[in-house]
Copies of this chain bind each other. A is one copy, B any other.
Amino acid sequence: MQLSRDDLKRAYRSMFTIRTFEERVDKEFALGNIPGFAHVYLGQEASGVGVCFDLTNDDYIGSTHRGHGHCIAKGCDVHGMMLEIMGKQGGLCGGKGGSMHIADMTKGMLGANAIVGGSPPIAVGAALTQKLKKTGRVAVAFSGDGASNQGTTFEALNMAVVLGVPAIFAFENNGYGEHTASSYAVGAPSIAERARSFGMPAEVVDGSDFFAVHQAMGRALERGRAGEGPYALEIVCSRFLGHFIGDPQAYRLPEELAQARGNDPIPRFRKGVTEAALLDDADLDAIESEVLAEVEDAVAKAMAAPRPDISTLETDVYVRY
């Protein structure tokens, strides 16, 4: 079945929200309004949205240090996110987490993770619950190409096969782990092939094409929902900016960056759906205006919000101690 017009709008809204949110994070960071460091998802929007599009709040995802896009795609509130990223009261994690630890259990978002390779084992656990409780739900582990070389990730792949759990490994190969190309750090000819050799179906997907990601994810999801076990996707995409905000990425020549920008998933989606007369520019422009206003509002509110109360420093360590 094709996606409905409402679905297409939802997809565009989600991708455009990520785009707007991340551009704004980049800007607010430069202005000194965001403490610490942040890794933005610019250029990878079709991946997160394609993967999360058909997930419910009862399906889980485990994310990475580059997690804002996954959060938005999974339905986290951008107001709560911006508050969190700015370290303010009312943030999704009360200001205690920050950019690299945004989580929202009510949305099935098990947390960004500042440890590369941290999420895959946890996602296997979330998938195990689904198997044991026979919910038909799945758990997705997002990992980068860099994370695909971490021992914990490999263990999770094997464990998922052995336990037969509905875990979906979404490897976002954006070409780089920090400042090192995946062509150097991944010794294998292909991440998908490597995952396949662990005993699960795996495919390579064009991560700049929302539809390609969504369809591949559909196959993974079908298998997961049917209780047939794990699946892996190698989603090939581009990181438009540096590893973290402020990375000058002198190691990438202008041509490489231009080429990445030339394959921008958002205009590509727009072109696709307008040319097919599924949506028209007015539909999409309206979404854009709404999103821009929402993000603007989120920033304004986050800027105005107070810091967390100092009394919260020692709360939330334990349920009870």
Contacts and interface: CB of A to CB of B under 8 A. Distances in A.
A160 to B, nearest CB: 8
A203 interface: no
State the main secondary structure of chain A at its contact with B. Answer: helix
B158 A188 contact: yes
Nearest to A151: B151
A107 B246 CA distance: 51
A162 B185 contact: yes
A150 interface: yes
Contacts of A161: 187-188
Contact of A152 (B151, B184, B196): B151
Nearest to A196: B197
A200 to B, nearest CB: 8
Interface in A42-60: none
B187 A193 contact: no
Interface string A143-154: 000000111111
A32 interface: no
Which size class do A's interface residues fall under? Answer: 20 to 34
B162 A155 contact: no
Total identical chains: 2
A11 B150 CA distance: 39
Contacts of A199: 187-189
B198 A188 contact: yes
Nearest to A180: B162
A204 interface: no
A194 interface: yes
Interface string A169-203: 00000000000000011111100011011111000
B162 A158 contact: no
Interface string A85-100: 0000000000000000
Contacts of A193: 197
Contacts of A154: 151, 154-155
Given A150-B151, A189-B197, A197-B197, 17 more contacts: A149-B158, A150-B155, A151-B153, A151-B154, A154-B154, A158-B186, A158-B187, A159-B187, A161-B187, A161-B188, A162-B184, A187-B198, A187-B199, A188-B197, A189-B199, A193-B197, A194-B198
Interface of A: 149-155, 157-162, 184-189, 193-194, 196-200
16 contacts: A149-B158, A150-B151, A151-B152, A151-B153, A154-B154, A157-B187, A158-B187, A159-B187, A161-B187, A162-B185, A162-B187, A187-B198, A188-B197, A188-B199, A189-B197, A194-B198
